[in-house]
Amino acid sequence: MNSSEPQVRALELTIIPLLGSVILYWVYNKVLLGISRRNFKKENNCQPIPTYPHVDPIFGFDYWYALKKAAGSRNLLVWIREQYSLYGYTYFARLQTTHIINTCEPENLKAMHSTKFRDFGVDKRRHEAFVPLLGVNSILLSNGATWKHKRAALAPSFTRSQYSNLPLFEKHILNLIGEIKAENAAAGQVDLTDYFHCCTFDITTELMYGKSVELLVNGDKELMKDMTRSAEGGQERWVLARLAKLVGNPTFIDSASRVRRFMARYVDQAIAYRERLDHLKSLPIQEISKQNVGDSKAVEADRVLYLHTVALKTLDKAALLDELTTILFAGRDSTAALLTNLFFVFAGNPEIWAKLREEISVLNGQKPTFDQLKDLQYVQSCLNESLRLDAVVPLNTRMALVDTCLPRGGGPDGKSPIFVPAGTNIAFHVTALHRRKDLWGDDAEEFRPERWEKIKGQGAWMYQPFGGGPRNCPGQHLSLTEAAYTIVRLAQEFSHIERVDDDPWVESIGLATLNLNGAKVRLTAA
């Protein structure tokens, strides 16, 4: 007998029982999980959910390919709405190895965002898509206690005193008006898109970091292109899902890297502020009054800078870079997209522009106060209608952190609860929700600001331009005020606006969604 045979035999006697125990334990847990889930479904009256008719029911590559094809042809939002018309307002699909529940039901959004908020978090797919741009520390990609901590740090930067700072807006709006007038006079037309992006960038950098970059006047416009390319690249990675790492996207990586290198200057400023503050604390009290904290002389006494707030929380350079980059995109993209989409509509509907100018005539050419701005109901209705019809964040996702349920989508009529296993992704689409004719009427596909005279304040969960619940957009009041002020000031400067071509609205989806064809207009000075 070979001397090694007893050892092999002993090893077999050890490994086989151990392997058998592992398998039995796995089966045991699976059985327990199945019993637990069956009881959960029964207790919550969960009913079967409609399923996408997969050709590939295992990996769902047919669904992924259709989604990717729609995104590649810039027809994703229309395709999404078509799927709901075919399979109901909540349906199940497989996307590669991920289980997806698609929904545009108000009650399901209410559950995810509010009543069952703790059951859902940011999904891994979104995290992996945008990490190279926003970083692992970004509030947009965080969950649980980490997210809660970051959200609290944002709060001081979005108080009423911050978003009602109209003199700060006015300084940059004057630059905007000057640049628009110059190009309109020289070329006989102007595409407002880049100007809106530069203006919102300038306002955000001053409001959040203390000093504006002033891209409108003398900035590097290539930075705007890098921001746009990197935001769109992140969206492309989201569509590719798990294949993103295999396919790669050098343009996205290079653009994201350049944006983050630009943002490094603000990391240095944050650290310098914190070091200066720590130095002051070490001085005798009689010496402190003789010192100046960083660049605080450039900031009004009652303003809270986000740059300072995050510096007080951490000196970790990577964390600072992630947070400061995220807030820059949030401040620039949403408002610029809203304005681009809205002025595209204004240019094709001169009667809306005339009605808007008639409303602001009560100002007698004076700059509006914050209260006057809120009282301009038609201006506010135009903003609401644009965010309804062309939501700047038309699609989003969450992941079930635990076994849970949603209140709508099950049963023959789609009105019963559905079971949502832990790890399932929920894709919710306000682009479909906001155009549902059963909720908004037969004219749901039309831009009609007058509808807000009747529905304002009703059906909160059927209108979700900024999300809802604890994770709603903290900057929504800032964005709406900034957009409203821009509209009013441009309406005071220009009596007529018209389109210069017949190009349709085409989706360009990044961190915000706007018209790929921009807002090419011809303006007449008032």
What are the binding residues?
Answer: 473
- Both tokens of 481, joined, read 């005020």
Compute CA distances 248 → 62, 183, 225, 234, 442, whole Å: 21, 38, 20, 11, 43
Helix (H) or strand (E) segment spanning residue 429: strand 425-429
Compute CA distances 225 → 190, 198, 230, 232, 233, whole Å: 18, 11, 8, 11, 12
227 CB contacts (<8 Å, ≥6 apart)?
A: 197, 255, 259, 329, 332, 333
Q: Are 175 and 202 in contact (CB under 8 A)?
A: yes
3-state secondary structure of 417: strand
How many Å apart are CA 227 and CA 255, to the nearest integer? 7
How many Å apart are CA 322 and CA 150, to the nearest integer? 11
How many Å apart are CA 226 and CA 473, to the nearest integer? 24
Q: Are 428 and 103 in contact (CB under 8 A)?
A: yes
- Both tokens of 95, joined, read 């996307």
3-state secondary structure of 289: coil
3-state secondary structure of 408: strand
Q: Where are the beta strands (DSSP E) in 444-518?
A: 494-499, 507-509, 513-515
120 CB contacts (<8 Å, ≥6 apart)?
A: 112, 398, 399, 400, 401, 404, 426
DSSP state of 39: H
Please give the annotated binding residues for heme, written as ranges.
Answer: 473
Instruction: Write out the DSSP string of 372-401.
Output: HHHH-HHHHHHHHHHHHHT-SS-EEEEEES
How many Å apart are CA 195 and CA 199, to the nearest integer? 6
How many Å apart are CA 247 and CA 68, to the nearest integer? 13
Which amino acid, one-letter code, is at 108?
Answer: N
Work out whether strand 190-191 and strand 98-103 pair parallel, antiparallel, or are unpaired. unpaired
Neighbours of 387 (CB within 10 A): 26
Q: Are 406 and 416 in contact (CB under 8 A)?
A: no
- Both tokens of 412, joined, read 């023959």
Q: Are 190 and 180 in contact (CB under 8 A)?
A: yes
Q: Are 60 and 93 in contact (CB under 8 A)?
A: yes
Place of tokens 């703790």: 118
3-state secondary structure of 236: helix
